Amino acid sequence: MAVARIEWRCPRCEKRYAIREDIPEPELCPACQQAQPDSELPAIDPHYAAQRIRRHRSLRIVAQGIKAAAVLIAVGGFLFFTLSIVQGTPLITADDRLLVTAFYLAAFFGTLLNAALIYAAGGALELLIEIEHHTRLQRAASERK
Protein backbone atom coordinates (compact mmCIF):
# COMPACT_ATOMS: atom_id res chain seq x y z
CA MET A 1 0.00 0.00 0.00
CA ALA A 2 1.46 3.32 -1.05
CA VAL A 3 1.98 6.07 1.49
CA ALA A 4 1.03 9.59 0.50
CA ARG A 5 4.05 11.86 0.16
CA ILE A 6 4.58 15.57 -0.15
CA GLU A 7 7.46 17.52 -1.67
CA TRP A 8 9.68 19.27 0.88
CA ARG A 9 12.66 21.53 0.22
CA CYS A 10 15.55 21.92 2.70
CA PRO A 11 15.86 25.60 3.68
CA ARG A 12 19.65 25.42 3.83
CA CYS A 13 20.76 23.44 0.76
CA GLU A 14 17.54 23.74 -1.28
CA LYS A 15 17.44 20.01 -2.11
CA ARG A 16 14.00 18.56 -2.72
CA TYR A 17 12.76 15.51 -0.83
CA ALA A 18 9.59 13.44 -0.91
CA ILE A 19 8.56 12.96 2.70
CA ARG A 20 5.60 11.12 4.14
CA GLU A 21 2.52 13.20 4.60
CA ASP A 22 1.77 11.92 8.10
CA ILE A 23 5.04 13.04 9.73
CA PRO A 24 6.01 16.59 10.72
CA GLU A 25 8.31 18.47 8.38
CA PRO A 26 11.96 18.39 9.49
CA GLU A 27 13.94 21.57 10.06
CA LEU A 28 16.87 20.42 7.88
CA CYS A 29 17.65 17.52 5.58
CA PRO A 30 19.80 14.64 6.95
CA ALA A 31 22.94 15.90 5.17
CA CYS A 32 22.58 19.40 6.63
CA GLN A 33 21.82 17.99 10.09
CA GLN A 34 25.10 16.03 10.02
CA ALA A 35 27.03 19.06 8.78
CA GLN A 36 25.58 21.28 11.51
CA PRO A 37 28.44 22.87 13.47
CA ASP A 38 29.03 21.89 17.10
CA SER A 39 28.51 25.50 18.20
CA GLU A 40 24.79 25.08 17.61
CA LEU A 41 24.62 22.13 20.01
CA PRO A 42 23.59 22.95 23.57
CA ALA A 43 26.50 23.56 25.93
CA ILE A 44 26.90 21.33 28.97
CA ASP A 45 26.99 23.13 32.29
CA PRO A 46 30.53 22.61 33.73
CA HIS A 47 29.18 22.67 37.30
CA TYR A 48 26.79 19.85 36.47
CA ALA A 49 29.56 17.82 34.82
CA ALA A 50 31.91 18.32 37.79
CA GLN A 51 29.14 17.29 40.17
CA ARG A 52 28.61 14.05 38.24
CA ILE A 53 32.33 13.31 38.15
CA ARG A 54 32.56 13.78 41.93
CA ARG A 55 29.57 11.49 42.36
CA HIS A 56 31.37 8.60 40.70
CA ARG A 57 34.80 9.24 42.21
CA SER A 58 34.41 6.49 44.82
CA LEU A 59 33.31 3.98 42.17
CA ARG A 60 36.30 4.92 40.03
CA ILE A 61 38.59 4.32 43.01
CA VAL A 62 36.98 0.91 43.54
CA ALA A 63 37.54 0.05 39.86
CA GLN A 64 41.20 1.10 40.08
CA GLY A 65 41.55 -0.93 43.28
CA ILE A 66 40.15 -4.01 41.56
CA LYS A 67 42.63 -3.59 38.72
CA ALA A 68 45.53 -3.09 41.16
CA ALA A 69 44.46 -6.22 43.08
CA ALA A 70 44.49 -8.20 39.83
CA VAL A 71 48.03 -7.08 39.07
CA LEU A 72 49.14 -7.89 42.62
CA ILE A 73 47.54 -11.35 42.39
CA ALA A 74 49.32 -12.07 39.13
CA VAL A 75 52.72 -10.86 40.36
CA GLY A 76 52.33 -12.49 43.76
CA GLY A 77 51.23 -15.79 42.29
CA PHE A 78 54.09 -15.91 39.82
CA LEU A 79 56.61 -14.99 42.52
CA PHE A 80 55.18 -17.57 44.90
CA PHE A 81 55.30 -20.42 42.40
CA THR A 82 58.68 -19.38 41.00
CA LEU A 83 60.28 -19.09 44.43
CA SER A 84 58.92 -22.47 45.46
CA ILE A 85 60.48 -24.01 42.35
CA VAL A 86 63.83 -22.22 42.81
CA GLN A 87 64.10 -23.03 46.53
CA GLY A 88 63.35 -26.66 45.87
CA THR A 89 60.39 -26.81 48.22
CA PRO A 90 57.77 -28.25 45.93
CA LEU A 91 54.16 -27.45 46.65
CA ILE A 92 53.11 -30.37 44.49
CA THR A 93 54.73 -33.76 44.91
CA ALA A 94 54.47 -36.53 42.39
CA ASP A 95 56.65 -39.39 41.21
CA ASP A 96 56.85 -38.18 37.65
CA ARG A 97 58.78 -34.96 36.94
CA LEU A 98 56.63 -34.27 33.89
CA LEU A 99 53.48 -34.42 36.01
CA VAL A 100 54.92 -31.92 38.50
CA THR A 101 55.82 -29.59 35.61
CA ALA A 102 52.29 -29.90 34.25
CA PHE A 103 50.82 -29.06 37.66
CA TYR A 104 53.05 -25.97 37.98
CA LEU A 105 52.12 -24.81 34.47
CA ALA A 106 48.46 -25.28 35.33
CA ALA A 107 48.97 -23.22 38.51
CA PHE A 108 50.73 -20.45 36.55
CA PHE A 109 47.95 -20.45 33.97
CA GLY A 110 45.27 -20.45 36.66
CA THR A 111 46.90 -17.50 38.40
CA LEU A 112 47.15 -15.60 35.14
CA LEU A 113 43.54 -16.40 34.22
CA ASN A 114 42.31 -15.35 37.66
CA ALA A 115 44.18 -12.05 37.45
CA ALA A 116 42.91 -11.41 33.91
CA LEU A 117 39.30 -11.99 34.95
CA ILE A 118 39.61 -9.68 37.95
CA TYR A 119 41.30 -7.02 35.78
CA ALA A 120 38.50 -7.33 33.22
CA ALA A 121 35.93 -6.87 35.99
CA GLY A 122 37.62 -3.62 36.99
CA GLY A 123 37.64 -2.46 33.37
CA ALA A 124 33.97 -3.37 32.97
CA LEU A 125 33.11 -1.35 36.07
CA GLU A 126 34.95 1.67 34.67
CA LEU A 127 33.14 1.27 31.35
CA LEU A 128 29.74 1.12 33.06
CA ILE A 129 30.59 4.25 35.06
CA GLU A 130 31.48 6.11 31.86
CA ILE A 131 28.32 4.96 30.07
CA GLU A 132 26.15 6.05 32.99
CA HIS A 133 27.98 9.38 33.26
CA HIS A 134 27.55 10.24 29.57
CA THR A 135 23.93 9.09 29.56
CA ARG A 136 23.13 11.46 32.41
CA LEU A 137 24.96 14.32 30.69
CA GLN A 138 22.97 13.75 27.50
CA ARG A 139 19.72 13.62 29.45
CA ALA A 140 20.54 16.86 31.23
CA ALA A 141 21.44 18.53 27.94
CA SER A 142 18.19 17.41 26.31
CA GLU A 143 16.15 18.58 29.33
CA ARG A 144 17.68 22.07 29.07
CA LYS A 145 16.64 22.47 25.41
Say if residues 51 and 70 touch (Cβ distance below 8 Å).
no
Mean per-residue pLDDT of the chain: 79
Q: How confident is the model at residue 62 (pLDDT cuts 50, 70, 90)?
A: confident
**Residue 9 shares a structural domain with residue 67:** no
User: What's the maximum distance between 2 C-alpha atoms anywhere in the chain?
Assistant: 87
pTM: 0.48
Report the pLDDT value the prediction gives residue 105, as an integer from 0 to 100: 82
List pLDDT tens digits, range 84-108: 777 766 666 667 777 777 777 888 8
Q: Which residue has the higher pLDDT, 38 or 110?
A: 110
**Residue 81 shares a structural domain with residue 139:** yes
List pLDDT tens digits, range 40-59: 555 556 666 566 566 667 77
Report the pLDDT value the prediction gives residue 46, as an integer from 0 to 100: 65
Full domain range(s) for residue 20 = 5-39
**Residue 72 shares a structural domain with residue 139:** yes
Say if residues 102 and 143 touch (Cβ distance below 8 Å).
no
User: What is the Cβ-side half-sphere exposure of residue 120, based on CA atoms within 13 angstroms?
Assistant: 6
Helix (H, G, I), strand (E, B) or coil at 5: strand
Amino acid at 12: R
**Residue 31 shares a structural domain with residue 86:** no
- How many domains is the chain partitioned into structurally? 2
User: Across-strand partners of 8?
Assistant: 17
**Residue 13 shares a structural domain with residue 81:** no
Report the pLDDT value the prediction gives residue 94, as an integer from 0 to 100: 65
For residue 69, pLDDT over 80 is answered with yes
For residue 79, pLDDT over 80 is answered with yes
Report the pLDDT value the prediction gives residue 80, as an integer from 0 to 100: 82
Residue 9: φ, ψ to 5°: -115, 130
**Residue 88 shares a structural domain with residue 120:** yes
